[in-house]
């Protein structure tokens, strides 16, 4: 039972008074398991969304050598991104399956933040448990936490000062970081109708990857429809994607001045 079901309350909608988003994930297809439907809504509003992938997903298909899997999964990620209006997809080339949390990963994400200057970041939950108590994968945890930390690092000129030599000045404009798949979400995005349809098409673009999972796993449409309808009641709508939102600064006057 979710906290909202326990109390009979609904979640607030995720604020949408922003223009640029950077979505950070560990692997191709991570964004497509729900978040892409929210991305479809945002790009339809004219917002700019950029994807940043820590790996090329080369270890994701058991029956395919990483040298062959990497370019295939990269192509599927770019195709899936186009389905939801995303033109820019970048890869950091960390090693799939053994991504390490540390300065190197944070620096790479900070570099992207300073270059793209997003208002918000979207990434995955960094907790051991995800929604419904499912155990979170190691790369997901590492990248989610690194993205959250990098959002603040990006505004400090004395953290990774070498990036200034690349012409990348500090960017402290990230307002909040949205964690997808969180066990206890705080906000939601209404994806009823067209956004959900485009999100389904985005995951369907990963056909070779999902085929590599083996027979009887799942199909994009029933899975994403079920997941979005599970999230809908928490927002008081038919279908929703839920996020745990972490503010990097007070929105409006701080509490002690109100």
The string of pLDDT tens digits covering residues 172-230 is 999 999 999 999 999 999 999 999 999 999 999 999 888 766 655 568 999 999 999 99
d(CA 223, CA 60): 19
- Using 50, 70 and 90 to split pLDDT, how confident is the model at 48? very high
Using the CB atoms, write b or e for 173-192: b if 16+ within 10 Å.
Answer: bbbbbbbbbbbebbbbbbbb
CB burial string 201-213: b at 16+ within 10 A, e below: bbbbbbeebbebe
φ, ψ at 128 (rounded to 5°): -70, -40
Reduced to 3 states (helix: H, G, I; strand: E, B; else coil), residue 48 is: strand
Per-residue pLDDT reduced to its tens digit, 104-115 = 999 999 999 999
Residue 11 tokens read as 């979640």
Among candidate residues 105, 98, 94, 56, the one with its CA nearest the CA of residue 77:
56
Of 105 and 254, the structure prediction assigns the larger pLDDT to: 105
**Domains within the chain, CATH numbers bracketed:** 20-248 (3.40.50.10320)
């Amino acid at each position: 039972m979710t906290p909202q079901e326990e109390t009979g309350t609904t979640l607030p909608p995720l604020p949408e008074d922003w223009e640029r988003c950077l979505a950070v994930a560990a692997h191709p297809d991570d964004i497509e398991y729900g978040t892409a439907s929210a991305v479809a809504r945002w790009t339809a509003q004219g917002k700019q969304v950029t994807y940043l992938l820590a790996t090329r997903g080369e270890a994701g298909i058991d029956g395919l050598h990483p040298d062959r899997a990497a370019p295939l999964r990269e192509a599927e990620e770019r195709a899936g991104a186009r389905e939801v209006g995303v033109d820019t997809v970048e890869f950091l080339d960390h090693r799939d399956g053994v991504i390490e949390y540390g300065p190197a990963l944070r620096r790479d994400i900070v570099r992207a933040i300073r270059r793209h200057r997003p208002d918000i970041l979207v990434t995955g939950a960094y907790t051991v448990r995800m929604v419904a108590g499912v155990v979170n994968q190691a790369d997901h945890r590492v990248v989610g936490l690194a993205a959250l930390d990098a959002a603040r690092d990006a505004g400090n000129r004395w953290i990774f000062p070498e990036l200034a030599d690349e012409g990348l000045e500090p960017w402290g404009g990230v307002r909040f970081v949205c964690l997808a798949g969180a066990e206890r979400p705080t906000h939601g995005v209404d994806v009823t109708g067209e956004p959900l349809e485009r999100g389904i098409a985005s995951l369907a673009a990963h056909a070779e990857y999902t085929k590599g999972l083996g027979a009887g796993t799942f199909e994009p449409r029933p899975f994403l429809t079920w997941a979005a309808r599970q999230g809908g009641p928490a927002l008081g709508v038919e279908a929703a994607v839920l996020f745990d939102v972490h503010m990097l600064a007070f929105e409006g006057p701080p509490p002690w001045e109100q």
